[in-house]
Amino acid sequence: MSENERLFERAKRVLPGGVNSPVRAFKSVGGSPRFIANSDGCRITDVDGASYIDYVSSWGPMILGHNHSVIREAVERAVGNGLSYGAPCAAEVELAELMTELVPGLEMVRMTSSGTEAVMSVLRVARYATGRDKVIKFEGCYHGHSDAMLVKAGSGALTFGVADSGGVSGEVAAFTLTASYNDLDSVSDLLDANPGQVAAVIVEPVAANMGVVPPRGGFLSGLRELCSKHGTLLIFDEVITGFRLSVGGASEFYGVRPDLFAFGKIIGGGMPVGAFGGSAELMSYVAPLGAVYQAGTLSGNPVAMAAGLAQLRYLNEHREVYAQIDGYAAGLASGLTEIANGKATVNRVGSLLTVFFTARNVDSYSAAKSSDTDSYGKFFHSMLNRGIYLPPSQFEAWFVGAAHGDSELDATLSAASSYFDGESPK
């Protein structure tokens, strides 16, 4: 038995399913998860000493690669001053200033410890600001595990074939309306059927938790128009797209300005961080200025703020990173499309991509669901055995980072070619 397998057996006795987040369990692809011992650049190494080219990238924040010296040194300096204060620090002010400088429409932010917490809080702001209770989300889009958002959710919930979570009351779920991603008519119909009742429409600007599904032309701008027409707030969940599509996030990338934002992951440089924000007017409703209560002992944690500030400063000063990672991802997507030769569809937006095991054009939740998950599981293990670490689910994004280079591209495409050519891994 390998050390990975031994650890998994131990973990299952003390952690539900042996993991602390469901998709890590490899349940949808089979086998035992890899327990990671260390990481550097674009590679991770497991407890058995096997090294992998990593396309999970901690689900996005490692845009500069693992263990980047600029971020590591910032963390080391911050740790030297203490791990947590439960009081304000300069770094949280500096990070908020930089975020509001970079993101169009973002005037004020509140730091949290996770993207889930950010979404939960921003919805509370939207409900208070509008005096309305209902929220529209999209099938297959994942906005964290707060009760109201676990209705027809993506990510792990989609992976396991369940749209809803146990323990979510019917009363809470009743206030969440579900539309079809990339279908403006479905949103318009819900707004018309619930006049004056919808506080917000929340959307992943690029759906990335049913696999990567780009917004159709006019979809995001159409949402903006519908929300403005109905007095409904538009929320961009930029936990994945924020500071990854561009230094100004999806708001800059697509030229569409939402009313409110939720961020996560990447603004902590790999540390546990989230944030929500919007106009100064809307954020004035948040305590202690207003009546919308949100608090957290670790919000604005000095070590996490130092890591995030170092990463965002670097990205702002080296914007060529975006052309670099987008170019790599474009080459990867093009090569995979050629290799698959009609057996799979590859979607890409910027440095995000997904290989869907379906011949259909994947521009919707239903098209994503047509994927052959058994084939993806075989592909996953074939690639894993050849040293390529992919998301252990058909319905997740691959993340490219600045540490990926030509040799990794060649190795990844060679491994994929061997799979599609039917070669057995050695």
Catalytic amino acids? Answer: 142, 237, 265
Residue 69: alpha-carbon gap to chain centroid: 24
Neighbouring residues of 80: CB distance < 8 A, sequence distance ≥ 6: none
- Smallest CA-to-CA distance from 236 within 248, 247, 221, 251 is with 251
Buried b (16+ CB within 10 A) or exposed e, 17-54: ebbeebbbbbbbbebbbbbbeebebbbbbbeeebebbb
How far, in Å, CA of 382 to CA of 42, rounded?
19
SS3 44: strand
Count of CA atoms in the C-beta half-sphere (13 A) of 258: 31
- The crossing angle, in degrees rounded to 10, of helices 184-193 and 219-230 is 10
Contact 132, 197 (CB under 8 A): yes
First and final C-alpha spacing in the chain:
19
- Integer angstrom CA distances of residue 337 from 170, 343, 381: 43, 9, 19
Contact 67, 425 (CB under 8 A): no
